[in-house]
Each structure stands twice: as C-alpha cells, then as structure tokens.
Amino acid sequence: MKLSELTTNDLIMLDKGYASKDDVFKAVAEELLIQGIIQDKKVFINALYHREAESPTGLENGIAIPHAKSETINKPVFVIIRLKNSINDWESLDSSNRVSLIFLLAIPKQQTGTTHIDLLAQLSRSLMNPEFVNGIKNANTSEEVMTLLELTNKQEPKEEIRESKGLVLGVTACATGIAHTYMAAEALEKAGAELGYEVIVEKQGANGIEDRPALSDVRRAKGLIVATDIEPQNMAHYENVPYIKTKVAAPIKDATSLIKQVIDQPAGNYHSEQSLDSNMSEKKSLGTELYQSLMSGISYMIPIVVGAGLMTAIPQIGGMFFGIEGGTIGDAINATSSNGAVSFLYYLNSFGGFIFSLMYPVLAAFMANAIAGKVGMTAGFIGGGLAGGMIYALTGQENQTPSGFLGAIAIGFVAGYFCRFLNNKIKLPKNIQSLKPMLIIPLLSILLVYVLNLYIFEPIGGGLNNLLFDVISKSTGTYVIAIVIAMATAFDMGGPVNKAAFAVTMTLAANQSFPMTANILGCIIPPLGIGLSVILNQYVFKRDIYDESMEADGYTSFISGIIGISEGAIPFALKNPLITIPLNLLGSALAAVLATLFGVEIWFPIPQFWGWPLVQGLVPYLLSLLAGVLFVAIGNIVIRDYLATKKKKQVEKNDNWVRS
C-alpha cells in the first residue's frame, strides 16, 4: 500500500490557520467524519492523544507525524496539513522544533501491525528527502502535493558506487521503533553513497530486526555505527567490528561526520558482553542496570517455580485417587509402596522439590548474565546454589540458615559485576586467550562468591530471613499474620519482597505452622484484578482510562494471574504506582482476612487453578479470591476515571482561559 493511494485532494489541507494541536485534530476528525472514514470524532481524537502520550510525534524541520489506531477508523488514510503559522508547543524530539507541516495517519486497529508500521516507515524515509519536504512546503495546490506523493512511489535505484571504499554497517533503533529508526537508516545510506562507501543498516524497529547483514559482510566491514535510543538486541553478531555509539537522531542531523568518524576514529572494537565506551554513549544508570538484571533473573526463575508447582501438584492430587491423604504423598513410606503408581508419585513429588531447589541458582545465574554476559553465569549459578542452602542439604548439616532469596540477589549482582570487571581488564595473548573465560574468571569469581556468601551474605541474608520469619510467626493474631503475608506478597508483584515472603511462608507451611493461603492470594490477586479491570472497562463501563497498549497488557496480566504469575501487573504499577500498589495491597489483605475467617487452608505452593483440589475449603476460597479481585478491578476503574475526568476538566478550563 502506498501513501498516494491513501489520500485525496480533500485530505491535503494547505495554509490552514489552526493555532494548536487540538485545532488540528478536531479539523481532521470533522473532515474524516464527513467522508465516512471514521465513525466517532471523540474516539478518534482520543486515539490521537493516546499516541501523543506515549512519546513525542514532533520531529525536526517543522515536521510532526501524529497517528491514530482505533476501531472507529473504517479504512487507512493519510492526511497532510500545512499551517500558516507554526505551533510552538507541539512536543517534539527536537525541543526547538516549531511545527508547520503535519503528516497524519489514521489506521484501523486490526491493521496496526501491518499497514500502520509500513506506512510510517515509508513516510519516514520520504521525510529524509529534502526535495520531497521542500516540495510540499512550497506547493501551491493539493494537486502538486499529489504529484510529489506519486513520485515517491517510484523506487529510485540506489546510487551505484563505482569504486567502493569499503563497507560500513549501522544499527538504528528508537523508542517507538518506527520514525527515527528508518530516518536514521536512510540518512546513513545516502551519506555513505556520497562518500563512496557501501552501507548496510540493520533496523531494530516495531517489526523486529530487519536487514541484518550476513556474517560475511560483518567480517569485511570497516566500521559499525550504533545509533540507538534504546538498548540494541542480539549484538553479538557484530563482535570485534570497529564502532561508535550515538543517539538515533545524530545520523539524521549529520550522517556524513559519523561515517568519517567510524572510519578514522572508532571508539574501539565492539564487544557485546561489555558496556560501550562512555565517551560515545550514555551509560545506563546503576539503578536501571540493577533493576533490569533483577527482572531478567526473575523472568527466568518464574518457569522454574511454575514447573516445580506442577510437579508437586500432580502427585498430591494423584495420590488422592489411591486413598493417600492430601499432603502426605511425600511421606517416606510411599517410596516402597507395593502400588507402583504410588511409588512413582512419591518420586515425582521429590522431583518437584528438586526443581524448587534450582530456583535460586537460576535467579542468580541469569542476573549475572544480564550484567556480564555468559562469563558471569557460572559464578552466579554456583553462588545461587549456596544461597539456596544446597551445600547444607548435600552435607547433611542441620540448623543452618542459608542467605536465601536476598542472598541470591546479592550474589547475582556481585558475580555479574566482578566477572564483567575481570573480562574487561584481563588481557592475554591470543594463543592463550581461551584461558580467561574457561579458567581464570570462573576460578576467581567462584572463590569470591563463596567467601562473600560465607562471611557476609549468609549472616545478613539469613538474619533477615529469620527476622521476617519471626515477624510473621510472632505476629499477634491469625488475621494480622494473614494480612502481613498477603500485603508483603502483593507489594512488588514478583519482586524481592514478594519472593522473600514466598520463601518464608513456604518454610512456615512446611513446618505446619501457618498455611500458604494468604501468600497464594497475594500472588494472584494483583494480576487478576488489573486484568479484570481492563476487561470490565472495555465491555461494561467503557471509560476512557486505558490506552491500547494498556488494554493489551491487561489481557496478559489476567492470563498470568490464572497461571499464578504476579509479574503481569508490573506495567500498570510502573505507570501508576500510587493507584496500582495501594489497591493491590488492600485487595489482597481483604481476601486474606475473608479466607482466614472462613477457615480456608492451602499448604502447598500452587497458586494455579490446578491446585484447587488441594484447597481445604474451595468454595469460600473462591469467594474470598473474587472479593479481592473485584476490589482491585472496580477500584482501578473508579479512581482512574475520577482522575481522568478531573484532568480533562482542567484542560478544558485552561483552553477556555486561553481563548478568552
């Protein structure tokens, strides 16, 4: 589909007197409604503003490219608006941009993954052509603009380089993965042709990775320009290529200088397992890197927990069919049962326990991997085993408190940063270079994590675990204990507090001191409540409180809640923590109190629906769960609607004041 096929003379609006973004959106909505292209003006304008809230649509050189995706749009269209006077407050990537030329795309929701991205990519490339932009700025009639659009449809052959000076590679990526990603790539390709270099640019955009060069091209490349505003993915492909790192907007402004720089003064050779040169890039803040590595480790740990839960649930439920009392399949007597099925279920239950023991090693290993790459995984995995107390289980040492979940987190960080430091600083001759990842780094890092765990992490982490255990176990009153466990579990939705509460509660349940009911409820109520909030709002309340990305996240959250994963609610907590977190805490506490009142007991760490046969008091459990989920869901809708209405009234008040 081509740009010229999606517009008409009526949708090319030249020299209009619109004074604000709102004026532009209303005028376009009115025209599209008249032509039968949209069904509802308000819904269409809201869709435009939802996109504006994600990131600026203003670019440079007086240009903006707003776009809307909505079910109210009947077919894709392309609108051009040229203003008499520029709009100075249009949010733009270039703060000095004064918008006077607007390219607006309206795409039906069902075409968002295809037509939407393709058209934005086409438009972005066209905007890199000065003749195209200047032609529209100087056109006298809409017919002249249509002629320019027709010309862009004709694929111009790439300028042939008779004697190429060599190959330059590029990687471009922007936050939205559309406009700047393609504009930067186009700029590098044009500048390369002018300088006599062949240029291949990989685009990491909304369509994923596009135009990745072959390994044979990587080997002969003279340089690599990494122009990104986000962390590029799968960059080991470019190992050892001379490189520079810059922002995605830099090639758009001056691609020629970047190509000369990567040829004459590269920052060094690219290494995917180490951070890029600080002079060429903005380093991640320490807090950001710590958070991302922790979330990476947790994301790999979750399947371990789910798999362990399944392997534990199957034998517990299966044992009931052979007259085994719930929760006793793990008794040693069942290992030698004359019934082969019972014996099998006993060992399957033990297998589930073994999988649980891998939780901490996997967490620490992939945290270290996120920081240092694969060189950090060995120390992380072994250190995670220490944090989980594997050494005490193997040697039969009792009355030892391992550092636990908090210790595994600390070990993951230490292993990652220490291994990265060693990898960057140790230099060996090429003929013995393999000794570094195979011998030197593992030896030093394993020794370090062992010593630190023994003398620092275990005393501190074990002490904190004991403290949390004491706080929960010594809380006065069953209801208080249930509330503390539920709120601690719901607080950070799969984060360190959640996992620490899980570890302590599992210990209490193993000792038959306190059931896991409150922990289970605190685990699944946040994602189920948030997800149900989106679903109810979409089909029942129909308030303008969730944009399209949040609606998609809502369904993901609901599904993750069904399978017992708290992390599905995290996107909502990041966007609106003061709404999401308090409601999660209160909804989980409410459900925990009701379940305690009804005498519900769950002794196994199985929050998924397949653990329901093991619930003692299933009906009151489901009623308690429903109460907590509805509290979170309705609470989100009411509070978000109130805040959205209040904000809208304030905007209208300000607009009226400005116009008066």
Q: Do 45 and 190 belong to one domain? A: no
Check 174, 183, 355, 359 and give the catalytic one: 174
Q: Which of 209, 234, 269 is the last residue of a domain?
A: 269
Predicted local distance difference test score (pLDDT) of residue 614 = 84
In a domain, 96, yes or no: yes
Q: Which of 153, 184, 215 is the last residue of a domain?
A: 153
Sequence-separated (6 or more) residues with CB below 8 Å from residue 25: 45, 48, 49, 66
Q: Do 186 and 224 belong to one domain? A: yes
Q: Do 9 and 135 belong to one domain? A: yes
Contact 605, 509 (CB under 8 A): yes
In a domain, 280, yes or no: no
Token reading at 121: 């990519």
State the alpha helices, DSSP H only, in 373-403.
377-387, 390-395
DSSP structure class, residue 62: T
Q: Do 47 and 135 belong to one domain? A: yes
**Distance in angstroms (rounded) separating the CA atoms of residues 512 and 527:** 28
Predicted local distance difference test score (pLDDT) of residue 275 = 40
Predicted local distance difference test score (pLDDT) of residue 112 = 57
Q: Do 123 and 196 belong to one domain? A: no
Indicate the pTM of the whole model. Answer: 0.48
Token reading at 420: 């990265």
Predicted local distance difference test score (pLDDT) of residue 505 = 83
Q: Is 512 helix (H, G, I), strand (E, B) or coil?
A: coil
Antiparallel, parallel or unpaired: β 242-246 and 268-269: antiparallel
419 is catalytic: no
Q: Do 510 and 566 belong to one domain? A: yes
How many residues are listed for the chain in this entry? 660
Predicted local distance difference test score (pLDDT) of residue 118 = 67
pLDDT per residue as tens digits for the range 547-561: 776 787 788 789 878
Q: Which of 237, 269, 301 is the last residue of a domain?
A: 269
In a domain, 595, yes or no: yes
Contact 124, 186 (CB under 8 A): yes
Q: Do 48 and 12 belong to one domain? A: yes
In a domain, 340, yes or no: no
251 residue type, one letter: P
pLDDT per residue as tens digits for the range 207-257: 667 889 998 999 999 999 999 877 787 788 898 899 999 988 788 878 999
State the CATH number of the domain containing residue 173.
Answer: 3.40.50.2300
In a domain, 358, yes or no: no
Q: Do 68 and 216 belong to one domain? A: no
Q: Do 86 and 190 belong to one domain? A: no
Q: Do 19 and 73 belong to one domain? A: yes
Longest dimension (CA), the chain: 93
**Number of compact structural domains in the chain:** 3
Residue numbers in the chain where pLDDT is lower than 50: 273-283, 658
Token reading at 432: 């013995």
**Distance in angstroms (rounded) separating the CA atoms of residues 520 and 528:** 12
What residue numbers bound the domain in which 262 lies? Answer: 167-269
Predicted local distance difference test score (pLDDT) of residue 30 = 93
In a domain, 86, yes or no: yes
